[in-house]
Amino acid sequence: MHTTLAPEFHGDTDAQAAQHLIGACVHCGFCTATCPTFQELGNENDSPRGRIDLIRQMLEGQPPTRQTQAHLDRCLTCRACETTCPSGVQYGQLVTHGRRLVDARVPRPAAERAQRWALKEGLTSPLFGPALKLGRALRPLLPPALKHHVPPAGPGGDAHRWPTREHPRKVLLLMGCVQPALAPNINSATARVLDAAGIQVVVSDEAGCCGALREHLSDAEGARADARRNVEAWWPYVVQEQVEAIVSNASGCGTQIADWPHLLHSEPEYAERARRIAALAVDVSHFLPDIVAAFKPATDGPVVAWHPPCSLQHGQRTRGVVEAALAQLGAEVRVPLESHLCCGSAGTYSVLQPELSERLRTRKLGHLQTLTPQVILSANVGCIQHLQAGTQLPVMHWVEWVDAAVDTHGSENQTGEPRITTARHTPTVAP
Ligand code: SF4
Ligand code: SF4
């Protein structure tokens, strides 16, 4: 689709990028068949093709409105449309540019601005953990509307032990911003399972949020700052300790790291390092062949329902890998109808678009529960917490299930604390 930029957009890098990305779209509409918001609302403007057209109209000079903003806000950024698109339209990048351009022209009401600020600063703050602890302690006393926003501890529970063995094979683990407080067992289970497979997990205590939260809330500079901080924190492990990979166990974070080269491409001090780090970044499922080789299959053959997060199946294009490995590890794996559709979690979407988010969760849980599983497994803390809030069935990360279903021999540390590599390195710039 050709777009003629209105004069006000000449020289605007977001507009130029959007114009280029729109160029690949042929307006065929195949993507509408797999778009969750179009499936729920039936409105062309809540479909990928419709949103692309709204962005194009703005670039050609039609002023965006609150309605334009609402249609872009309702997009989950699940990227199911990218998987479906025969023309290879990079819709995820396009909608990010489009949102920035609309938000710069359409002011949000004060309450909305305050809510978005509280989400991006609050969830990434070191105070999030203590606040969640307090909220959980007071949860029985909270009114239902507030209780809904304070998730109880998941079936994985506390962090439990962290392995202390050293191995020649080493990987860096991204701990995440909300995950250590919301579901601490996911990180320690990852360390135990990889340890049992002969891979040592190290952690940089200077790393933090990957930037996905800020990026999705149109805070491009905040997302770049998050990416830069992590590049500085991880670079010494890449050049001096030569970790073989940078592992993420929240597929949404892994998808964001893959985007860092794009985010930092115009910053000479960071561009090359971001590219090298993105090339090393993998989802923990990358190590499933090692894990399958290290464990005996579980003997009781539980029935598990697999919910693939959008960030894993559409963002990282990893499909079928976890299901096959879980079956090799002894589970009877069942995949629901419409497994390509988002569950409605989508980062902060469940807070910002509660009604649509709940509709999508009900639809997803309907399909999952029909499979009569003993447990629902997924690969992203956001999906896990969101689904758990709507069902009595246990919902957990697949790595927690592997950790619980098999014996991870040799994990000696009983303190529950991650073994953090404390050495400080002086970051160096890529040659
Ligand atoms: S499927 Fe791709 S080319 Fe077709 S309308 Fe959707 S985004 Fe455009
Ligand atoms: S990212 Fe998801 S919700 Fe947004 S337009 Fe594409 S399919 Fe629809």
Residues 86-120 pLDDT 10s: 999 999 999 999 999 999 999 999 999 999 998 88
CA distance 79 to 210: 19
CA distance 270 to 327: 41
Q: Give the angle subtended at the CA of 303 by the CAs of 399 and 363, to the nearest 5°.
A: 85
**Is 60 exceeded by the pLDDT of residue 32?**
yes
Q: In the prediction, which pLDDT does 155 show?
A: 64
Global confidence as pTM: 0.87
> pLDDT-derived band of residue 195, with 50, 70 and 90 as boundaries?
very high
77: phi > 0 → left, psi -120 to 50 → alpha, else beta; which? left
Q: Is 318 exposed, middle or buried (0-12, 13-18, 19+ CB in 10 A)?
A: buried
31 lines ligand 1 (CB under 6 A): yes
Residue of 409 and 1 predicted with greater confidence: 1
Q: Give the angle subtended at the CA of 97 by the CAs of 206 and 116, to the nearest 5°.
A: 60
Closest by Cα among 30, 412, 384, 425 to 179: 384
Q: What value does the mean pLDDT take over residues 191-207?
A: 94
Residues 2-21 pLDDT 10s: 999 999 999 999 999 999 99
CATH code of the domain made up of 7-105: 1.10.1060.10
CA distance 319 to 83: 11
**Is 50 exceeded by the pLDDT of residue 262?**
yes
> pLDDT-derived band of residue 251, with 50, 70 and 90 as boundaries?
confident
53 lines ligand 1 (CB under 6 A): no
Ligand nearest to the CA of 90: 1
Q: How far is the CA of 161 from the centre of ligand 2 (A)?
A: 39
**Is 70 exceeded by the pLDDT of residue 417?**
no
- Per-domain boundaries in the chain: 7-105, 288-405
Strand 303-306 with 245-248, pairing: unpaired
Ligand 2 atom nearest the C-alpha of 342 is 2
Determine what percent of the chain is predicted with pLDDT higher than 90: 70
120-129, 255-264, 284-293: which is most confident: 284-293
Helix (H) or strand (E) holding 169: strand 169-174
87 lines ligand 1 (CB under 6 A): yes
**Is 70 exceeded by the pLDDT of residue 431?**
no
Tokens coding 413: 């540390």
**Is 50 exceeded by the pLDDT of residue 430?**
no
- The residue whose CA has the least distance to atom 7 of ligand 2 is 35
216 lines ligand 2 (CB under 6 A): no
Q: How far is the CA of 304 from the centre of ligand 2 (A)?
A: 27
Q: How far is the CA of 342 from the centre of ligand 2 (A)?
A: 9
Residues 130-176 pLDDT 10s: 776 667 766 666 666 666 666 766 666 676 789 999 999 999 999 98
Ligand 1 atom nearest the C-alpha of 49 is 5
Q: In the prediction, which pLDDT does 144 show?
A: 67
Ligand 2 atom nearest the C-alpha of 51 is 5
Residue of 423 and 297 predicted with greater confidence: 297
**CA-to-CA separations, 350 to 143, 301, 359, in angstroms, rounded:** 18, 34, 10
Q: Which CATH number fits domain 288-405: 3.40.50.1860, 3.30.460.10, 3.40.50.2300, 3.50.50.60?
A: 3.40.50.1860
Q: In the prediction, which pLDDT does 252 show?
A: 79
Lowest mean pLDDT among 106-115, 209-218, 268-277, 349-358: 209-218
CA distance 74 to 102: 14
